[in-house]
Amino acid sequence: MKYRSEIDGLRAVAVVPVILFHAGFKVFSGGYVGVDIFFVISGYLITVILLTEIERGEFSIARFYERRARRILPALFLVMAACIPFAWLWMIPEQLRDFGRSVVSVVFFVSNFLFWREEGGYFAAAAELKPLLHTWSLAVEEQYYLFAPLTLAVFWRFGRRLLFWCVAATAVLSLLATEWGWRYAPAANFYLPQFRIWELLVGSLCGFIATSRAPRPNNLLSALGLGMILFAIFRFDRYTPFPSLLALVPVGGAALIVLYGHQGTWVARLLSVPLFVGIGLISYSAYLWHQPLFAFARIRSMGEPSDMLLLALAALSLVLAYFSWRFVEQPFRRRPIPLLPGRRTVFAACSAAGVVFAVMGVYASASGGIPSRLANPELSSREARLLASVRTHTLAVKCRRPGDLATRADLCPIYMPKDPKLRILVVGDSHSYAILPAFAEIGKENAVYHFGVGSCPPINHTSIQRGVFDIGVCEDVTRRQMQAVRDGHYDVVVMVARWSLYPGWDDAGTARSFALSPEGDPYFPSLAASRETFASHVPATVKDYLDLGVAVVVIQQMPEQQVLPQKILQQAALLGIGSGLSDEQFEAAIFETSTPIGVAEKRLAFAKGVLEKLKGDRVWVLSLEEAFKRDGRYIWGDRNGSYYMDRDHISAYGASFLAPAMTAAFADIEDSLRSQQAAGMAPKSRL
């Protein structure tokens, strides 16, 4: 195949935005689309090579996989080996355990499945701490390579034209699947091959076209392709539904350059600039190096590393990429070489290295992160208490029914005094679980029950689109909550949820992963429609409860944090508070990593505004975030522990920290209810 320098230049356009996106530079908010460009290039090159060999009668499946092994594994194994010492030194046991699992999954090229099953997703803060997160795309490519050569060879006998249209049909089906996937299974849609294969097949279709006709350079179409790629890089962001039909922008742009950006066009001249070509040549190694560098820098830092440090690490990834390309990639791709003279030796050496990594990964995982490697494997009581503070409680676990999470929602007694003054039912999503310890003092004189399930807000007659569960699950939960109130003779219903999640907040002009629609509406709503549903159905739900004769307390959502408190505490424990880390440094790290009040209020503004309008004679709306305010920020913890278990859920320690404010608020609510009952403005207590 004739060498095309502009393809290497296109690789540079793909890899640099990916690196800068992972470094956290917001101007490259859509830099993750570089992976999609790589998919197109890979599909194109592999198809051209395979079709050429098949047409000449030279196709060999063994030779194909040997080339893939020489191309991919040496540099990958080098980077994995380089990660291990830093993981050993800088990761606490829990982190090293998860790292070990990722090492095993990388060896078998199934890391996309591992990261799909883990919580948070690709864009979550926790993902920034995973050194091998980026290998998900290598796994998708390898899964494609597993089937592509055999499929082409087998179906070639039916004719080139039929094979082309079969590939096209498969690409269309995969594209339609991803349009469904971003709505209803966003994590699977991002990581799994059935939702990504169409991008590789677009490159494959380009390969079919390129091998069936002479090159057709076109300035206009190739320039349009480059413009589409740049638009996606600078205009897309983490809230863009992706991959979806919108992925046609970068994927289509890459295809236009591949088909029409040949030598002689303006785009080819630009992409053939030596700097772009040079970065393109080392792009694979650069892609491998950048994520571990950023992840270990973030793991090692108490707060977020500075922009200058991240920029320096981005540059370092290119330097390391050059050396690994020059001394690892290139020698291993030459054939024969002294160390690996034959195909069997190549496969044997790669298998042996894979076994070594797999054994190490299994050991790290099975041992719980090898705690014995730490200088003080048994953390001091203070450090252990700090790490324990991010954990949630188990108050409602006793009532969970066995089976799928969606079936676990059931009525659960939490605090049961002998002669309760009021019967209180707490309903909501996972935030309703988290806040239960704040009712400890209230529960000494009042009966407190819980009924809820995570990711199901207490909003009646509403479908959660792109939610955790299938349509209908959360609707059933809210119906059973209402029935519990009808049957249970409660005095107060407390509604708790991560309110801002469901209608979406307008941080980037688009909805987040969840959206709301009226029950029975099959269409995915726009951000405006989702907010309209929220604004109408939440008040309607409150009215439904009032009509049953109960008072309603709505608890505003706690401010969301920008970082994972657990990560800061883990680093503090590793450094050792009182020895390597002073109390002042620890508290400064907490303050610097806490969310500015303006940022938090922007995220919560819409939902908070809707809830504030609910206040009435028998409706209270409680805002408890004042307890967390410190000098212009919402603090996530103090020297004794974390108020949060993750970015948005209150920890057991945080809930106990809120208990005095909650107790005082409910004392006022109880007094008001008694006054209303005495004046005939509210039903008498049914106790």
Residue 127: exposure state from Cβ atoms within 10 A (0-12, 13-18, ≥19) = middle
Residue 340's pLDDT band, with cuts at 50, 70 and 90, is low
Q: Is the pLDDT higher at 3 or at 137? A: 137
Secondary structure in 3-state letters for 147-190: HHHHHHHHHHHHCHHHHHHHHHHHHHHHHHHHHHHHHHCHHHHH
Specify the 3-state DSSP secondary structure of 667: helix
Q: Crossing angle of helices 343-366/61-90, nearest 10°?
A: 30
Write down the pLDDT at residue 507: 47
Among 38-42, 502-506, 650-654, top mean pLDDT goes to 38-42
Ordered by start, the domain boundaries in the chain are 5-369, 397-562+597-678
Which pLDDT band holds residue 469 (cuts at 50, 70, 90)? confident
d(C-alpha 646, C-alpha 445), whole Å: 31
When pLDDT is averaged across residues 329-334 and rounded to a whole number, the result is 85
Task: Report the pLDDT value the prediction gives residue 402, as an integer from 0 to 100.
Answer: 59
Distances in whole angstroms, Cα of residue 105 to Cα of each of 111, 354, 362, 652: 5, 11, 10, 34
pLDDT of residue 407: 57
pLDDT of residue 506 exceeding 90, the answer is: no
For residue 440, how many other CB atoms are within 10 A of its CB?
Answer: 17
pLDDT at 686: 45
Is 80 exceeded by the pLDDT of residue 183? no
CA dihedral (106, 108, 110, 115) in degrees, to 10, reads -30
Residue 687: the pLDDT is 37
User: In this predicted structure, what is the pLDDT of residue 478?
Assistant: 94
Q: Which residue has the higher pLDDT, 185 or 196?
A: 196
pLDDT band at 120 (very low <50, low <70, confident <90, very high): low
Sequence-distant (≥ 6) Cβ neighbours of residue 128 within 8 angstroms: 22, 294, 295, 298
* Mean pLDDT lowest among 101-115, 282-296, 394-408: 394-408
Least confident of 5-9, 62-66, 633-637: 62-66
Q: What is the mean pLDDT of the chain?
A: 88
Identify the band that residue 509 occupies on the pLDDT scale cut at 50, 70 and 90: very low
Average pLDDT over residues 419-424: 91
pLDDT for 205-238, tens place per residue? Answer: 999 999 998 999 999 999 999 999 999 999 998 8
Strands 423-428 and 492-496: parallel
Residue 562's pLDDT is what?
A: 83
> Does 338 score more than 60 pLDDT?
no
Q: What percent of the chain has pLDDT over 90?
A: 60
**What CA dihedral angle connects 520, 451, 184 and 524, to 10 degrees?**
40
Task: Name the pLDDT band for 263 (thresholds 50, 70, 90).
Answer: very high
Task: Give 510's pLDDT tier (boundaries 50, 70, 90).
Answer: very low
Statement: 397-562+597-678 belongs to CATH 3.30.1330.10? no
Closest alpha carbon to 657 in 673, 645, 647: 645
For range 484-496, the mean pLDDT = 93
Confidence bin at 579 (pLDDT 50/70/90): low
Q: Look at 329-343, 452-466, 665-679 and tell me which has the smallest mean pLDDT.
A: 329-343
pLDDT at position 413: 92
pLDDT digits over 236-261, tens only? 988 788 999 999 999 999 999 999 99
Tell me the pLDDT tens digit for each residue of 28-41. 999 999 999 999 99
Region 474-491 average pLDDT: 92
Give the pLDDT of residue 554: 97
